[in-house]
């Protein structure tokens, strides 16, 4: 039972990290949850300011992912939904 819940938690952690990933050209790709897509430009601008003048290196990816997740959680609070709810497709139920 414990192994199963650990596998689920590990899968969820991986999904959340997909909020920001790298493409084949060493560029970052933002993939926000459905409820936050409307605000994507805001996150992109924030990342641009923080990492201005820096190459989007794989070494910076972990920091940028954490920053993106923190931004998502903060934006969810601002719009009045939980982070988990933000991943739901509009019209679907938990």
Farthest CA pair distance, the chain: 48
Report pTM.
0.75
pLDDT in tens, the chain (94 residues): 333 333 334 444 556 668 998 888 878 899 999 999 999 999 999 999 998 887 767 778 889 999 999 999 999 999 999 998 998 876 666 5
Structure tokens at 7: 């596998």
Whole-angstrom Cα distance, residue 40 to residue 30? 8
Domain residue ranges in the chain: 2-86
- Half-sphere exposure for 20 (CA within 13 Å, toward CB): 24
pLDDT of residue 47: 93
């Amino acid at each position: 039972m414990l192994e199963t819940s650990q596998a689920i938690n590990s899968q969820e952690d991986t999904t959340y990290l997909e909020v920001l990933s790298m493409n084949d050209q060493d560029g970052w790709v933002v993939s926000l949850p459905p409820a936050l897509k409307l605000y994507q430009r805001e996150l992109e601008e924030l990342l641009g300011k923080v990492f201005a003048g820096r190459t989007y290196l794989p070494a910076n990816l972990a920091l940028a992912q954490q920053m993106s997740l923190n931004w998502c959680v903060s934006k969810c609070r601002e719009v009045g939904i939980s982070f988990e709810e933000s991943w739901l497709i509009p019209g679907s139920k938990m």
